[in-house]
C-alpha cells in the first residue's frame, strides 16, 4: 500500500511538473506574442506618423505654390484694371468739351483784343 501511495504521489508530482512546464511555456509564448504585437504597433504608429508628415509637407508646398499663383493673378488683374481706368479717364477727357478751357481761351483772346484796341485808340 505504501508503494501504491508512493507511486500515486510520484505520478501526481510528475503531472504537476508537466502542467507547470506547460503553463510556463504558454506564459513565454504570450509574452513573446505581446512583445511582437507591441513592436508591430510601434512600427504602424511610426509609418502613420511618417505618412502624415509627408502629406503635411506636400500640402504646405502646394499651398505656397497656389498662394503664389493667386498673388501673381491679383497683381496682373490690378495692373489691367489700373490701365483700363487710365484709358477710360483719358478717353473721357479727350472726347469731352471742357467749357473751362474755352472760357480761359476766350478770356485771353478778349484781353488781347482790348490791349490791341487800347493801343490803337491811344
Q: What is the CA radius of gyration of the chain?
A: 52
Reported pTM: 0.46
**What phi, psi does 96 have (nearest 5°)?**
-105, 135
For residue 71, give the C-alpha cell.
Answer: 498673388
Q: What are the helix (H) ranges across the chain?
A: 2-95, 99-121
For position 54, what pLDDT does the model report? 96
* pLDDT at residue 84 in the model: 95
- Parse the chain into domains and list their residue ranges: 2-121
Residues of the chain with pLDDT > 70, as a percent, come to 91
Can you say how many angstroms the Cα of residue 118 is from the centroid of all Cα atoms in its chain? 81
Amino acid at each position: 500500500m505504501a508503494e501504491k501511495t508512493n507511486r500515486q504521489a510520484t505520478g501526481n508530482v510528475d503531472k504537476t511538473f508537466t502542467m507547470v512546464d506547460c503553463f510556463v511555456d504558454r506564459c513565454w509564448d504570450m509574452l513573446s506574442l505581446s512583445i511582437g504585437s507591441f513592436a508591430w504597433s510601434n512600427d504602424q504608429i511610426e509609418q502613420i506618423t511618417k505618412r502624415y508628415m509627408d502629406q503635411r509637407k506636400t500640402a504646405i508646398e502646394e499651398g505656397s505654390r497656389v498662394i503664389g499663383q493667386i498673388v501673381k493673378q491679383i497683381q496682373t488683374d490690378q495692373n489691367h484694371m489700373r490701365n483700363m481706368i487710365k484709358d477710360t479717364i483719358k478717353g473721357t477727357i479727350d472726347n469731352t468739351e471742357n467749357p473751362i478751357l474755352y472760357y480761359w481761351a476766350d478770356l485771353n483772346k478778349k484781353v488781347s483784343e482790348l490791349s490791341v484796341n487800347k493801343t490803337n485808340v491811344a
